[in-house]
Amino acid sequence: MSDNITGKVVVITGASSGLGAAAARRLAARGARLALGARRVDRLEALVAELRAAGGEALAVPTDVTDPAQVQRLVDAAVATFDGLDVIINNAGLMPQSPLERRRIDEWDRMIDVNIKGVLYGIAAALPVMQAQKRGHIINVASVAGHKVRAGGAVYSATKHAVRVISEGLRQEVKPYNIRTTVISPGAVDTELPNSISEPDVAAGIRAFYDAYAISPDSFAEAVLYAMGQPESVDINEILYRPTSQEY
Protein backbone atom coordinates (compact mmCIF):
# COMPACT_ATOMS: atom_id res chain seq x y z
CA MET A 1 0.00 0.00 0.00
CA SER A 2 1.29 3.47 -0.90
CA ASP A 3 1.94 5.93 1.91
CA ASN A 4 1.11 8.79 -0.51
CA ILE A 5 4.55 10.31 0.10
CA THR A 6 7.06 8.02 -1.60
CA GLY A 7 8.04 9.37 -5.01
CA LYS A 8 6.22 12.67 -4.66
CA VAL A 9 7.96 15.78 -5.96
CA VAL A 10 7.99 18.42 -3.22
CA VAL A 11 9.16 22.05 -3.37
CA ILE A 12 10.05 23.69 -0.04
CA THR A 13 10.90 27.36 0.44
CA GLY A 14 12.89 28.53 3.45
CA ALA A 15 14.50 25.09 3.44
CA SER A 16 17.98 25.88 4.76
CA SER A 17 17.06 25.59 8.46
CA GLY A 18 14.27 25.20 10.97
CA LEU A 19 10.88 23.97 9.82
CA GLY A 20 11.88 23.65 6.17
CA ALA A 21 15.01 21.62 6.87
CA ALA A 22 13.18 19.34 9.31
CA ALA A 23 10.45 18.66 6.76
CA ALA A 24 13.05 18.04 4.05
CA ARG A 25 14.85 15.44 6.15
CA ARG A 26 11.69 13.55 7.03
CA LEU A 27 10.28 13.67 3.52
CA ALA A 28 13.55 12.53 1.96
CA ALA A 29 13.65 9.61 4.39
CA ARG A 30 10.15 8.66 3.20
CA GLY A 31 11.20 8.68 -0.45
CA ALA A 32 9.99 12.09 -1.60
CA ARG A 33 12.00 13.93 -4.25
CA LEU A 34 12.83 17.45 -3.15
CA ALA A 35 13.56 20.83 -4.71
CA LEU A 36 14.75 23.06 -1.89
CA GLY A 37 14.91 26.84 -2.02
CA ALA A 38 16.49 29.36 0.37
CA ARG A 39 18.70 32.44 0.35
CA ARG A 40 21.56 30.91 2.37
CA VAL A 41 23.15 28.91 -0.40
CA ASP A 42 25.94 27.32 1.65
CA ARG A 43 23.50 25.87 4.19
CA LEU A 44 21.09 24.82 1.47
CA GLU A 45 23.79 22.95 -0.44
CA ALA A 46 25.02 21.32 2.78
CA LEU A 47 21.51 20.04 3.47
CA VAL A 48 21.15 18.67 -0.05
CA ALA A 49 24.53 16.93 0.27
CA GLU A 50 23.39 15.39 3.57
CA LEU A 51 20.15 14.13 2.05
CA ARG A 52 21.89 12.67 -1.00
CA ALA A 53 24.48 10.95 1.17
CA ALA A 54 21.62 9.23 2.97
CA GLY A 55 20.18 8.03 -0.33
CA GLY A 56 17.64 10.80 -0.90
CA GLU A 57 16.87 12.76 -4.05
CA ALA A 58 17.24 16.50 -3.58
CA LEU A 59 18.03 19.63 -5.56
CA ALA A 60 19.25 23.01 -4.23
CA VAL A 61 17.97 26.17 -5.92
CA PRO A 62 19.01 29.55 -4.45
CA THR A 63 15.73 31.37 -3.90
CA ASP A 64 14.65 34.70 -2.45
CA VAL A 65 10.87 34.43 -2.13
CA THR A 66 10.44 38.19 -2.44
CA ASP A 67 11.34 37.82 -6.13
CA PRO A 68 8.60 36.03 -8.09
CA ALA A 69 11.03 35.13 -10.87
CA GLN A 70 13.23 33.24 -8.40
CA VAL A 71 10.25 31.35 -6.98
CA GLN A 72 9.17 30.46 -10.51
CA ARG A 73 12.70 29.24 -11.22
CA LEU A 74 12.53 26.96 -8.17
CA VAL A 75 9.28 25.38 -9.30
CA ASP A 76 10.49 25.09 -12.90
CA ALA A 77 13.65 23.34 -11.68
CA ALA A 78 11.57 20.80 -9.77
CA VAL A 79 9.40 20.08 -12.81
CA ALA A 80 12.39 19.82 -15.15
CA THR A 81 14.48 17.64 -12.84
CA PHE A 82 11.80 15.32 -11.48
CA ASP A 83 9.24 15.52 -14.30
CA GLY A 84 6.41 16.91 -12.22
CA LEU A 85 5.25 18.68 -9.09
CA ASP A 86 3.07 17.19 -6.39
CA VAL A 87 3.47 19.47 -3.38
CA ILE A 88 4.74 22.96 -2.58
CA ILE A 89 5.41 23.98 1.02
CA ASN A 90 5.44 27.77 1.27
CA ASN A 91 7.47 27.93 4.45
CA ALA A 92 9.82 30.94 4.20
CA GLY A 93 9.07 33.52 6.88
CA LEU A 94 10.50 35.96 9.41
CA MET A 95 9.34 37.53 12.67
CA PRO A 96 10.97 40.87 13.54
CA GLN A 97 8.41 41.80 16.19
CA SER A 98 8.29 45.25 17.77
CA PRO A 99 5.69 47.69 19.17
CA LEU A 100 4.04 49.77 16.45
CA GLU A 101 5.15 52.98 18.15
CA ARG A 102 8.76 52.17 17.26
CA ARG A 103 7.83 52.59 13.61
CA ARG A 104 10.05 49.85 12.20
CA ILE A 105 8.57 50.41 8.76
CA ASP A 106 11.43 48.62 7.04
CA GLU A 107 10.67 45.50 9.06
CA TRP A 108 6.95 45.76 8.37
CA ASP A 109 7.68 45.89 4.66
CA ARG A 110 10.03 42.93 4.88
CA MET A 111 7.47 40.80 6.72
CA ILE A 112 4.81 41.64 4.14
CA ASP A 113 7.22 40.83 1.31
CA VAL A 114 8.35 37.47 2.74
CA ASN A 115 5.40 36.22 4.78
CA ILE A 116 2.57 37.26 2.44
CA LYS A 117 3.98 37.91 -1.01
CA GLY A 118 6.35 34.96 -0.74
CA VAL A 119 3.36 32.66 -0.20
CA LEU A 120 1.48 34.24 -3.08
CA TYR A 121 4.47 33.86 -5.40
CA GLY A 122 4.72 30.19 -4.46
CA ILE A 123 1.05 29.70 -5.24
CA ALA A 124 1.40 31.57 -8.53
CA ALA A 125 4.34 29.42 -9.61
CA ALA A 126 2.85 26.05 -8.65
CA LEU A 127 -0.80 26.51 -9.53
CA PRO A 128 -0.59 26.30 -13.35
CA VAL A 129 1.30 22.99 -13.13
CA MET A 130 -1.20 21.54 -10.69
CA GLN A 131 -4.21 22.81 -12.64
CA ALA A 132 -2.92 21.22 -15.83
CA GLN A 133 -2.36 17.84 -14.19
CA LYS A 134 -5.58 18.06 -12.12
CA ARG A 135 -3.86 17.20 -8.86
CA GLY A 136 -1.47 18.64 -6.30
CA HIS A 137 -1.12 19.88 -2.76
CA ILE A 138 -0.29 23.41 -1.57
CA ILE A 139 0.86 23.71 2.05
CA ASN A 140 1.18 27.20 3.50
CA VAL A 141 2.83 27.93 6.84
CA ALA A 142 1.08 30.37 9.18
CA SER A 143 1.45 30.54 12.97
CA VAL A 144 -0.48 30.53 16.20
CA ALA A 145 0.08 34.29 15.85
CA GLY A 146 -2.33 34.14 12.93
CA HIS A 147 -5.01 33.10 15.43
CA LYS A 148 -4.03 35.28 18.41
CA VAL A 149 -2.53 38.75 18.67
CA ARG A 150 -0.44 40.21 21.44
CA ALA A 151 1.28 43.55 21.99
CA GLY A 152 4.41 43.88 19.90
CA GLY A 153 3.32 41.32 17.34
CA ALA A 154 0.59 43.15 15.43
CA VAL A 155 2.23 43.17 12.00
CA TYR A 156 3.58 39.63 12.26
CA SER A 157 0.14 38.40 13.34
CA ALA A 158 -1.43 40.31 10.45
CA THR A 159 0.86 38.59 7.94
CA LYS A 160 0.12 35.16 9.35
CA HIS A 161 -3.61 35.83 9.47
CA ALA A 162 -3.30 36.83 5.81
CA VAL A 163 -1.77 33.44 5.04
CA ARG A 164 -4.80 31.76 6.59
CA VAL A 165 -7.20 33.94 4.59
CA ILE A 166 -5.32 33.34 1.35
CA SER A 167 -5.27 29.61 2.04
CA GLU A 168 -9.03 29.49 2.59
CA GLY A 169 -9.71 31.43 -0.59
CA LEU A 170 -7.37 29.13 -2.46
CA ARG A 171 -9.10 26.06 -1.02
CA GLN A 172 -12.41 27.16 -2.46
CA GLU A 173 -10.99 28.12 -5.85
CA VAL A 174 -9.08 24.91 -6.61
CA LYS A 175 -11.89 22.42 -6.09
CA PRO A 176 -12.39 21.94 -9.88
CA TYR A 177 -8.73 20.89 -10.18
CA ASN A 178 -8.65 18.25 -7.41
CA ILE A 179 -5.92 20.21 -5.59
CA ARG A 180 -5.55 19.88 -1.84
CA THR A 181 -4.67 22.80 0.44
CA THR A 182 -3.32 22.87 3.98
CA VAL A 183 -2.34 25.71 6.27
CA ILE A 184 -0.15 24.72 9.24
CA SER A 185 0.00 27.07 12.24
CA PRO A 186 2.75 26.10 14.71
CA GLY A 187 3.17 27.50 18.19
CA ALA A 188 6.64 27.93 19.68
CA VAL A 189 9.07 25.72 17.75
CA ASP A 190 12.82 25.70 18.26
CA THR A 191 14.03 27.47 15.10
CA GLU A 192 16.03 30.57 14.20
CA LEU A 193 12.86 32.64 13.78
CA PRO A 194 13.44 34.75 16.93
CA ASN A 195 16.84 35.75 15.54
CA SER A 196 15.09 38.10 13.10
CA ILE A 197 13.97 40.35 15.99
CA SER A 198 16.11 43.50 16.01
CA GLU A 199 14.75 45.22 19.14
CA PRO A 200 16.89 43.96 22.09
CA ASP A 201 14.16 44.07 24.73
CA VAL A 202 11.62 42.34 22.50
CA ALA A 203 14.20 39.76 21.43
CA ALA A 204 15.04 38.97 25.07
CA GLY A 205 11.40 38.42 25.94
CA ILE A 206 10.72 36.19 22.95
CA ARG A 207 13.92 34.23 23.53
CA ALA A 208 12.92 33.59 27.15
CA PHE A 209 9.50 32.42 25.94
CA TYR A 210 11.05 30.05 23.40
CA ASP A 211 13.56 28.75 25.92
CA ALA A 212 10.68 27.88 28.22
CA TYR A 213 8.25 26.38 25.73
CA ALA A 214 9.67 25.64 22.27
CA ILE A 215 9.49 22.10 20.91
CA SER A 216 11.45 20.38 18.14
CA PRO A 217 10.91 21.35 14.48
CA ASP A 218 10.27 17.64 13.92
CA SER A 219 6.78 18.47 15.19
CA PHE A 220 6.24 20.48 12.02
CA ALA A 221 7.60 17.67 9.87
CA GLU A 222 5.08 15.31 11.49
CA ALA A 223 2.25 17.71 10.63
CA VAL A 224 3.42 17.82 7.01
CA LEU A 225 3.63 14.03 6.82
CA TYR A 226 0.14 13.73 8.28
CA ALA A 227 -1.44 16.14 5.80
CA MET A 228 0.40 14.73 2.79
CA GLY A 229 -0.04 11.11 3.78
CA GLN A 230 -3.82 11.10 3.69
CA PRO A 231 -5.59 9.49 0.73
CA GLU A 232 -6.07 11.92 -2.17
CA SER A 233 -9.77 12.04 -1.33
CA VAL A 234 -8.98 13.54 2.10
CA ASP A 235 -8.07 17.23 2.30
CA ILE A 236 -6.61 18.34 5.66
CA ASN A 237 -7.23 22.07 5.43
CA GLU A 238 -5.83 23.40 8.70
CA ILE A 239 -3.53 22.22 11.46
CA LEU A 240 -2.98 24.38 14.57
CA TYR A 241 -0.62 22.95 17.15
CA ARG A 242 1.34 24.17 20.15
CA PRO A 243 3.68 22.83 22.80
CA THR A 244 1.48 21.18 25.42
CA SER A 245 2.64 23.73 28.02
CA GLN A 246 2.08 26.84 25.85
CA GLU A 247 -0.95 28.92 26.83
CA TYR A 248 -0.61 31.65 24.15
Query: What angle in degrees, to the nearest 10, is found between the helix axes of 218-229 and 18-29?
Result: 50
Report the candidate in 74, 93, 92 with the shortest Cα–Cα distance to residue 10. Answer: 74
Give the C-alpha separation, 211 to 88, whole Å. 30
Any idea which residues carry the catalytic annotation?
Answer: 156
CB-based contacts of 75: which residues, under 8 Å, 6+ apart?
Answer: 11, 35, 85, 88, 122, 125, 126, 129
Report the candidate in 229, 139, 235, 146 with the shortest Cα–Cα distance to residue 186. Answer: 146
- Length of the chain measured in residues: 248
